[in-house]
Amino acid sequence: MQAFYIRYRNTQGTLMRILNAVSRRALDMPSVRAEEAEGDHQVILLLEVTPKQAAQLEREWFSIVDVLQVSTVHAGLPAAWTLPHPPASVAGNTEEGLAARA
Amino acid sequence: MLKGAEIVLQCLRAEGVDLVFGYPGGAIMPLYDALEGSGVRHILTRHEQGAVFAAEGYARVTGKPGVAIATSGPGATNLVTGIADAKMDSVPLVCITGQVRSALIGSDAFQETDVFGMTLSLTKWSRLVRTIDEIPEAIAEGFYWARSGRPGPVVIDIPTDMLKAKKEFSEPVKFVPQPRIEQAAKNSANGHSGNSHSANGNGNGAGRGGTFDAVVTMLQKAQRPVALVGAGAKLSGAVTELRRLLDDLNIPSFATVHGLGAIPPQASHYLGMVGMHGTRAANMALHETDLLLVLGARLDDRVTGDPSRFAPFAKIVHFEIDPAQLDRVRACEIPVLGDLAETIPAFHTALGQSPTSRKDGEKCDWSEWRALACGAERAELDPRGLAQPTIRFLDELFSRLPQDSVVIADVGQHQMWAAQRYRSSSPRGFITSGGLGAMGFALPAAVGVQLAKPQTCVLCVSGDGGFQMNIQELATVHRLGLPVKMVIVDNKYLGMVRQWQQLFYQRNYAETDLSDNPDFVEIAKAYKIPARRLNEDAMREFPVSQGTGDLIDGFLHSRGPELLVFDCAPEANVFPMVPAGASLSEMVFEEE
């Protein structure tokens, strides 16, 4: 389980676009908390994701107009999206490979 | 005092819009009522999907946002395919929809749909206008986002009572993004920045200074570097810089279907189109490379084949404007985030300043690949010969086109044949629905292209399946007298699906038979559009007979619209082909 913090301007549709990025991958959202934060808004998502999914999500969130910041709970550790994925060595028919290619 | 509808039109004019495509209906009627004298010309299509594809055609050929207008409910839902298409292919598109009056929103009123909600995942930005005061800002902001960064579609949904309401109005506003958004965009353009993307974060300068030095070093060490070019170079207006860079690099280059025209086909380093139906040379070079420069391409699955076996020996340097596209399919060693209009010249400068810059391709033995590319003639494309007449027909058509013509291809086999045979160096000369693959795109898109380029020869190439998806736009072509040249490659099948059924479903041609197609010549004539037919037998002799050549010339150079139906072999296939899930190195060249 990984926590993601997304700070955004609370304009029409921005939160829904953030959540759409999750739902289009058919990921469960066990915890979603959206609230005002220092003049902007913040949503905290708890998700079970692969490193590749985490990376894709972070980049996709940051591409959304009015998203200001995307970060993970693991401060100080490399962000998931800096890790290589899918690894070139991953075989397509393994569980890991399927996850990487999801 | 102006009505909301009049304000919308004034704001459109302020954004430089003088042409819109649409279809009227209940909730949007106030806008139509205000059209006359507004300075905005409205093109009535015969279906909202025709309107949105026409707006896309206009946008794709000009680079300016296309505008589509529809009413609420079914009018709005009919726009959705075009919106998705614009999202996939990075097309600046502004859709304005009427909505039921404010008091009825949420009541399941007549012709009410939540177009704002249903297009959230397809649009870059959208707004459901709540007050008449919001209209100028909504229009300005919508155009800003449609144009900026990676272009894309926006939706502005306006309740009909907002269009009827009146307010004091002096002049349109200019949207100025808040500084922190600009800052965020800059940080985004700087790429990897630690463990957070932040409006206040510290980019590490990927794409700048030291990073380019690293790319130059990688380039110098590489034995088999290649360059893959996508639509980004065209969208950013960086084609000239791109060509200079590639000429100096002198490494094998190839293009995605949307990158066609960015590299002159006659360039000695150009190996053709890459991907599922790309040339053998391009695909093999991409498979064998040890350093891949990706320039404005998002590496979708039609380009990569099996992503886990895509460019398996390569390090990747990815020049890209949209951070969401990085590492999406395959990790890159160096991301260069930013507008290619800035990053390519900056990289070129860094390359030129390198003491041992690579300019002669001395380490890169790609003569074999080039020979393969040059040999990628008809025999490679179709060993059995069934597609030979169609390929030759397209060659004849394209070779007789005036310079700077625009070819619009629909979706299917004819699209891939056209992409394989397209030989123009006009950057916006080949237009197609690449990412979404929306059949029915070509004819309405050609309407938009022809209106944007009235003096240009516009050739619309469709299949018999796709043409029937928006065949009603023949009425638009006729009413406007647009000299669009329309070709139907008629194999009486949904050809590409049939090809897959043949190759991968044991020839079970389930529901792809269109042998009872209507007579397209007679249909065109019913729309008062001249039409003629050409049988593939005319293409079996080479060179083609004088009579056939004259027929094609007459078709291309006639003054008004014209339809040419080309009857081709029902079981002709597109080759080479990378089967789904296979590696680019596993192309097949004929059915086994």
CA distances from B263 to B69, B140, B368, B419, B430 (A): 35, 35, 20, 14, 12
Cα A62-A68-A74 angle, rounded to 5 deg: 70
How many angstroms separate the CA atoms of B140 and B557, rounded? 41
**Model pLDDT, residue A95:** 52
* Residues on chain A touching B581 (C-beta within 8 angstroms): 92
Out of A68-77, A87-96, B383-392, B407-416, give the one with best mean pLDDT.
B407-416
Which of B137, B150, B327, B583 best tests the A interface by mutation, with the highest count of A CBs <10 A? Answer: B327
pLDDT, residue B378, reads 45
Burial profile B392-406: b = 16 or more Cβ within 10 angstroms, e = fewer: bbbbbbbeebeeebb
- Report whether pLDDT(B232) > 90: yes
d(CA B500, CA B512): 11
Count of C-beta atoms within a 10 Å radius of residue A44: 15
Chain B contact for A30 (CB, 8 A cutoff): no
Q: Does B83 touch chain A (CB under 8 A)?
A: no
Average pLDDT, chain B: 90
Q: Give phi and psi for A98, each to the nearest 5.
A: -65, -40
Question: Could you tell me whether strands A31-37 and B196-198 are parallel, antiparallel, or unpaired per DSSP bridges?
Answer: unpaired
Which residue(s) pair with B324 in the sheet? none
State whether A97 and B308 contact (CB < 8 Å): yes
- Chain B: residue nearest A76 by CA? B195
CA distances to A24, A74, B269 from A33, in Å: 19, 18, 53
Q: Which DSSP helix (H) or strand (E) runs through B484?
A: none
Angle, vertex CA B285, rays to CA B426 and CA B312, nearest 5: 125
Cα angle: B576, vertex B582, B583; to 5 degrees = 80
Q: Do B145 and A67 touch (CB under 8 A)?
A: no
pLDDT per position as a tens digit, B24-37 = 999 999 999 999 99
Q: Is the CB of B178 less than 8 angstroms away from the CB of A9? A: yes
β-partners of residue B197 are A70
Residues from chain B that touch A74, judged by Cβ atoms under 8 A, are 195
DSSP state of B292: E
- Measure in Å the smallest separation between the Cα of B409 and chain A Cα atoms: 30
3-state secondary structure of B294: strand
pTM for the full model?
A: 0.91
pLDDT at B261: 96
Closest Cα in chain A, distance from residue B112 (Å):
19
Task: Tell me, yes or no, whether A68 lies in a domain.
Answer: yes
Question: For residues B522 and B309, what is the distance between their CA atoms, to the nearest angstrom?
Answer: 49
Residue of A nearest to B200 (CA): A69
Q: Please report, as a single letter, which amino acid is at residue B533.
A: R
Does any CB of chain A come closer than 8 Å to the CB of residue B126? yes
Three-state secondary structure string covering B345-376: HHHHHHHHHCCCCCCCCCCCCCHHHHHHHHCC
Q: Is A58 on the interface with B (CB under 8 A)?
A: yes
Instruction: Identify the three-state secondary structure at position B296.
Output: coil
Starting at the earlier edge strand, list the strands of the sheet with A2-8: A31-37, A40-47, A2-8, A67-72, B196-198
Asked whether the predicted pLDDT for residue B79 surpasses 70, the reply is yes
Say what the pLDDT of residue B186 is.
46
Whether the CB of A63 is below 8 Å from some CB of chain B: the reply is yes
Q: CATH code at A69?
A: 3.30.70.260
pLDDT exceeds 80 at position B473: yes
The reply to whether B179 touches chain A by the CB within 8 Å rule is no
- Closest by CA to B57, choosing from B46, B68, B47, is B68
DSSP H helical ranges for B90-231: 115-118, 135-147, 160-164, 179-190, 210-221
Please indicate if any CB of chain A lies within 8 Å of the CB of B331: yes
A67: which chain B residues are within 8 Å (Cβ-Cβ)?
A: 184
Q: Which residue has the tokens 């704001």?
A: B11
Tell me the pLDDT band of B324, cut-offs 50, 70 and 90. confident
User: How many Cβ pairs within 8 Å bridge chains A and B?
Assistant: 105
Specify the 3-state DSSP secondary structure of B52: helix
Residue among B337, B265, B356 at smallest CA distance from B295: B337
Q: Quote the CA–CA distance of B58 and B41 in Å, as a whole number.
A: 13
Residue A32 belongs to domain spanning: 2-81
Using CA atoms of B440, B445, B450, B451 in order, give the dihedral in degrees to the nearest 10.
130
Q: Which of B444, B458, B316, B534 is nearest to B23 (CA)?
A: B444
Distance, CA of B149 to CA of B125 (rounded, Å): 13
Q: Per residue of chain A (102 residues), give pLDDT as tens.
A: 899 999 999 999 999 999 999 999 999 999 999 999 989 999 999 999 998 899 889 999 999 999 999 998 654 444 444 444 333 333 444 454 444 443
Minimal-distance CA residue of chain B relative to A71: B196
Smallest CA–CA distance, residue B76 to chain A, in Å, is 18
Under the banding of pLDDT at 50, 70 and 90, the label for residue B198 is: very low
* pLDDT digits 0-9 by tens, B261-315: 999 999 989 999 999 999 988 999 999 999 999 999 999 999 999 999 999 999 9
**Nearest-CA residue of chain B relative to A78?**
B195
Residues of A in contact with B150 (CB under 8 A): 63
Q: Which residues of A touch B128 (CB under 8 A)?
A: 12
Summarised one tens digit per residue, pLDDT across range B357-380 is: 555 545 455 666 666 655 555 455
Percent of chain B with pLDDT over 70: 89
Q: Sort out which chain B residues have CB atoms less than 8 A from A68's CB and list them.
A: 180-181, 184, 198-199
Q: Which pLDDT score is estimated for B380? A: 56
What pLDDT, on a 0 to 100 scale, did the predictor assign at position B356? 59
User: Considering only CB atoms, which chain A residues are within 8 Å of B306?
Assistant: 92
Q: Helix B442-452 vs helix B48-62: angle between axes, to the nearest 10 degrees?
A: 50
Asked if B580 reaches chain A (Cβ–Cβ under 8 Å), the answer is no
Tokens (6 digits) for B102: 């404010």
Domain membership of residue A87 (yes or no) is: no
Judged by a CB distance cut-off of 8 A, whether residue B181 touches chain A is: yes
Q: Which of B17, B226, B2 is nearest to B142 (CA)?
A: B17
Chain B's closest residue to A4, CA to CA, is: B196
Q: How many domains are contained in chain A?
A: 1
Between chains, do A12 and B120 touch, taking CB under 8 Å as contact? no
d(CA B127, CA B14): 19
Tell me whether residues B196 and A56 touch, CB distance under 8 A: no
Question: Strand, coil or helix: what is B162?
Answer: helix
Asked if B322 and A77 come within 8 Å (Cβ–Cβ), the reply is no
Q: Is the Cβ pair A68, B198 closer than 8 Å?
A: yes
Asked if residue A88 belongs to a domain, the reply is: no
ipTM of the complex: 0.88
pLDDT band per the 50, 70, 90 thresholds, residue B199: very low
pLDDT digits (tens, 9 = 90+) for B165-185: 999 999 999 998 876 444 444
Cα separation, B533 vs B526, in Å, equals: 16
Does A54 reside within a domain?
Answer: yes
Contacts B192 to A, Cβ<8 Å: 81-82
User: Given CB atoms, is B117 within the 8 Å cutoff of chain A?
Assistant: yes
A100 within a domain of the structure (yes/no): no
3-state helix, strand, coil in chain A (%, to 5): 30, 25, 40
Backbone φ, ψ for residue B493 (5° rounding)? -145, 160
Check CB contact under 8 Å for B331 and A63: no
**Contact criterion met (CB < 8 Å) for A82 and B192:** yes
CB contact under 8 A, B195 and A71: yes
Cα distance between residue B83 and residue B55, in whole Å? 10
| pLDDT tens digits for range B533-582 | 999 999 988 789 999 999 999 999 999 999 999 999 999 999 999 998 89
Q: Is A73 on the interface with B (CB under 8 A)?
A: no
Give CA–CA dist B336/B324, Å, rounded. 13
**Is residue B242's pLDDT more than 70?**
yes
- Given B127, B145, B331, which is nearest A12 (Cβ)? B127
Which residues in chain A have their CB less than 8 angstroms from residue B197's CB? 58-59, 61-62, 69-71
Residues 6+ apart with CB under 8 A from B519: none
Contact A94/B at CB under 8 A = no
Q: Do B196 and A69 touch (CB under 8 A)?
A: yes
Structure tokens at B188: 């985004």
Indicate whether B202 pLDDT > 60.
no
Specify the pLDDT at position B386: 85
Domain-embedded: residue A90? no
Phi, psi of B4 (to 5 degrees): -55, -40
Per residue in B500-523, pLDDT (tens digit) is 999 999 999 999 999 999 999 999
What are the tokens at B318? 């990815």
Does some domain include residue A71?
yes
**In chain B, what residues touch A97 (CB-CB under 8 Å)?**
308
How do strand A67-72 and strand B196-198 relate by DSSP bridges? antiparallel
What three-state secondary structure class fits B590?
coil
* Model confidence pLDDT, tens digit, residues B118-153: 999 999 999 999 999 999 999 999 999 999 999 999
Spatial CA neighbour of B353 closest among B217, B253, B205, B203: B217
Give me B232's structure tokens.
């980004």
Q: Look up residue B153 and give its two tokens.
A: 């579609």
